[in-house]
Each structure stands twice: as C-alpha cells, then as structure tokens.
Amino acid sequence: MMDAPEKKIPISSDQNIPEKRISKGSAGVIDQHKQIDSHSRSGGAKPKVLPAPKVEPSKAVAESTRETREISKDVQGQQKVAKADEVEKAKACQLEFGSYCLWSIEHKEVMKDSIVKRLKDQLFVARSYYPSIAKLQGYEALTQEMKQNIQEHERVLSVSTVDADLPSFINKRMEQMERTIARSKSCTVDCKNVDRKLRQILDMTEDEAHFHMKQSAFLYNLGAQTLQKSHHCLNMRLTLEYFKSSSFDSDDSPSGKFSSPKYMHYVILSKNVLAASVVINSTVSSCKDPGNLAFHILTDAQNFYAMKHWFARNSYKNAVIHVLNYEAIILEKLPKDNIQQLYLPEEFRVLIRSIKQPTENTRMEYLSLFSHSHFLIPEIFKYLNKVVLLDDDVVVQRDLSFLWNIDMGDKVNGAVKFCGLKLGQMRNVLGKTAYDPKSCAWMSGVNLINLDKWREHNVTENYLLLMKKFKFKDERSLQAAAIPLSLLSFQHLIYPLDEKLTLAGLGYDYGIDEEVAQRAASLHYNGNMKPWLELGIPDYKKYWRRFLVRGDRFMDECNVNP
C-alpha cells in the first residue's frame, strides 16, 4: 500500500558512464590547477639552487613519524570506507525510492530529539544487559542500580518526545546510566543472550526506519501527483466564470490560422492551466515574430472550460491559441478507440549501472516519452503537415522558429537523443520484438514532428499492432508500456536534434549549473519536482516564474503563488 507510485526501470550497461555535467565550481578548480602547472613548466633562465644539507633523523623521530603515517593511513582508509558506505546507501535509496532521496537530503531538518534518541539507545542497551546481570550472584547492588536507571529513563521518555521536554537534570541521569552500562559490560555474562537482544533491537530499528522511509516516499510522490488546493480553486473559479460570461459558446478565434500550414503550429497536451500558460508565454516571448504562431492545447473534459476561459482572458502578443477537448474529439472522430482518456507524456525513473563497475558508475535519469494520446495527434490534426510538440513542463528561452527550416528527410520525429541508454540495455523491457540494440533512446519535451511522414510510415497503425503484443490489465500497465511502445514505434524514424536544444533534469537534478541553464534553448523539468509544486527545486523555479502571468484576479483570490 505504501509503494511509491513511480515507474522505475533498472538498466545494466557495459559501457563507461560519462559525467553528466561539470559544475561551475569544479571547472574553476580545474582551470586553477592548469594555470599553476603551466607556470611551473614555463621556460626561461632558472637560478641555480644549492642542495640542502642531508640530516639523518634520530631513531625516536623516525619511529614517531612512521607511527604517525600509519595512523594517518588508517584514518584515511576509514574515511574512504565510510564514504563508500554512504554512496552505496544513497544509490540503494534512489533505486527503491527515486528522487525522494535527493529531496530528503536537501530538506533535511535539524534534529530536535537528538538527546531523546540517545536516551532510547541507552535504555535499549541497559535492557539487553539487565536479564543477564540479574542472574549473577553477588551483583545485587548493580542489578538494583540498573533497574532504577531503566525505570527513570522510561519515566522521562514517557513524557518527552523532543529535547525541549526533557528535565534540567537529564545530563546527570545519562552519565549515571553510562557508568552503569560500563560496569555491566565488565561483568562475565552470557554473550549470546546480550547479542540476541541487541540484534532484536537493531532489526526492529531498521524495520521501523524502512517503514517510515516508505511512508515518506509515498507522501512525497502523492504530493508530486496531486493538484494543489490553490490550483484546484483557480480551475473551479475559471470554469464557473466561463459559464457566467457573455462569451459562453462563442469562439472568436481566427479558425483559418489553426488549419493553415503557413503558420508555425505547436501542440501541447496539458491538464494544468498555469503550466500550459508558461509554455506558451515563454515560447511567444522568445520568438521574433509571434504573429506567426498558433498553439493547440489538448486537454481533458474536466479542465476544458477553465483552459478556454483563461486563454480568452489573457493575451500572448499576436499568437492565437486553440483549446480542444481531447476526450470529445476522440469520441466523435475515433469512436473505435476504446481509450478515450487523455494521457500526458509518461516519465520513467531509469537507474543505469555499469556491469564492470556497478558500485561506482551508477546514475539515475528520468526518461520522458510519448503516451497513448500522442499517437492520435495525426488523426486529430489531419489538415497539418508539421508541428512541434511541447511538454507542459518545458520553458522556452530561445526562438524555436529555426525548427521549421530543418529538412528531416524521411524521418518522422525530431528529438534529442539520449545515448546514455541503448535499446540493447532494455532487453527485459522491450520483449521479443525485433529492434536495433545499438539504437539510442530519445526524449520528449521539444519534438519536431513531420505529420506527412508519420502518415506515410503508418506509425499509428504500427503502434496499435504493437499494443496487441503487450497485455494491458489496467491503466497502470498501459502507462508502463509507454517506454517499449514509444521506442519501438519510432525505431529508425528519429531525426537527432542538437542536444543543446533542451536541458533536461530540472525536476530531479540538484547539480545543474546556473550558467548552463541560462544558455539552454529550452529547459525541461522532467522528474517529480515540478516548478509549480512546493516540492520544486527552489533554484530552478525562477526560470519558470519569469513567464508566469501576473496580476490575474482569480490567481490572487485563490492565493496561487508557485
């Protein structure tokens, strides 16, 4: 019940895993070392330096130095082991709980019960020794002292949950207990009994910690997938206002622009008013000629009227915006399709490990791909021959007009390739269907789609045939199948776009450099920590907020402040 509702795919790789990015600080250190090294190798006359006189150290000094070096090596070795253990724990956490582990580290709170925890530890140890000490002859005084200390610890812990609740004399009680435990350890007792008790305590503590970790990860994922109260309020107010407005059932948009291939058409699948608004506003603000832009928003029936009223109230320079009810269109135009629900781009948490160095070369990525709804776009927009698909968690920072000048030849989908993951590494996911194992995966976010070639290659038909090979028990299994269906349907039909077009990872990666983010043509907040959520990474929210429409009355009334 507490499993985090996140799609994860472990991948094994026999390739060397490159570093994703070098932070600004790291680059500075590297440059500094290069400068120092270049000065040391520079030419020129060098002054003659006489050798220093050789001095033999005394035997005592030499012995002391040797011992110091050995201690230093031991300390360094222990530090390396401790660091390796921490890295392994972090990787194991990410494998099971995903980006929650990164989020929990960044939001780690100062412990308010550190002394309480120490009291509990002392109590556990004392309880482990007490049965064995009580059986020994001649240790009645120690037994009575230990029993009294245990009772006092229990009494204090029964009324204290944080350090502030503890009485002023607690340090004295802890010192007394520490001395009592030390005396108990010096006694000859049944080690098996003590060991069994301590192991029971350890197992209970580990089980409890893991339970709380699962519970926290579940709540984290729930928070990432649940619409915030303020956003829900905004949707309800917009929907109500739509039906109250005089423009009800009227559409003054220039419909000719929506069907004309002369314009640059963008398609967005979204159920989030503010997310769709930011994508459009950022694209329009970055474009030199926004009058040539036409946006088509596919949304569900629940958010349709809120979307329509929002984009009727707010203008985006000279661009035109067409809001469509996806479910109504499918019901009308494609009644044979029994999946009428709108599916947004699917995201998968992929843990990539090297077979040669599994403990060292491990990294986590979020792979976003087309959903079932994407494969019906050519049927919905039969009058268009080329579109750009934008995910609603994208922020555009540069003019994307150049995409319409790209000749993709016979290819269908212009996408940024993700060659850190090959199809051959996903044998357990792709099944027995034939595929090129050396072919790279690709990402959704910003995709240039040639709809004419899509229809010519029968991509949708091939996708539906592949669907029959995968058994779908429920909605979740359909979403999980998006990765093999998307990758196999576009095999050999991907046109590689420049990797600088989109910088991905702003929804889970805390290590992205600010200068790199500012230079990117577009930013993709793939991952759980979306910029409109409280869980969003604070350092990256500013790029998204920059294109948020301000001063809207309904936003103020609903207290929307992402």
Look at residue 352 in the predicted model and tell me its pLDDT. Answer: 74
Give the list of residues 6+ apart from residue 544 with CB closer than 8 angstroms, or none: 278, 395, 523, 525, 531, 532, 536, 562
Q: In the 8-state DSSP scheme, what is residue 56?
A: P
Question: What backbone phi and psi angles, to 5 degrees, belong to 512?
Answer: -80, 130
> Taken in order 499, 503, 508, 510, is the CA torsion positive or negative?
positive
**pTM flag (> 0.85):** no
**Alpha-carbon distance 423 to 429, whole Å?**
9
The encoded tokens of residue 94 equal 């990410």
Look at residue 442 in the predicted model and tell me its pLDDT. Answer: 95
Look at residue 428 in the predicted model and tell me its pLDDT. Answer: 79
Which residue is listed with tokens 């769709």?
276
Residue 75, class by beta-carbon neighbours within 10 Å (0-12 exposed, 13-18 middle, 19+ buried)? exposed
Q: How many CA atoms lie within 13 A of 199 on its CB side?
A: 6
**Alpha-carbon distance 512 to 509, whole Å?**
7
DSSP string computed for 454-469:
HHHTTHHHHHHHHHHH
Rounded to the nearest 10 degrees, the angle between the axes of helix 114-135 and helix 191-225 is 150
Nearest to 415 by CA among 470, 345, 321: 345
Look at residue 39 in the predicted model and tell me its pLDDT. Answer: 36
Q: What is the mean pLDDT of each run of 10 residues along the chain (562 residues)?
A: 49 42 35 35 41 49 51 52 57 64 66 83 84 82 89 89 86 90 80 74 74 69 70 90 72 67 93 96 95 95 94 91 94 80 90 65 83 94 95 96 95 93 83 84 96 96 88 76 91 94 92 93 93 89 92 84 76
**Alpha-carbon distance 377 to 454, whole Å?**
10
Give the 3-state secondary structure of residue 321. strand
Whether the Cβ atoms of residue 353 and residue 290 lie closer than 8 Å to each other: no
Look at residue 15 in the predicted model and tell me its pLDDT. Answer: 42
Look at residue 426 in the predicted model and tell me its pLDDT. Answer: 82
Look at residue 52 in the predicted model and tell me its pLDDT. Answer: 44
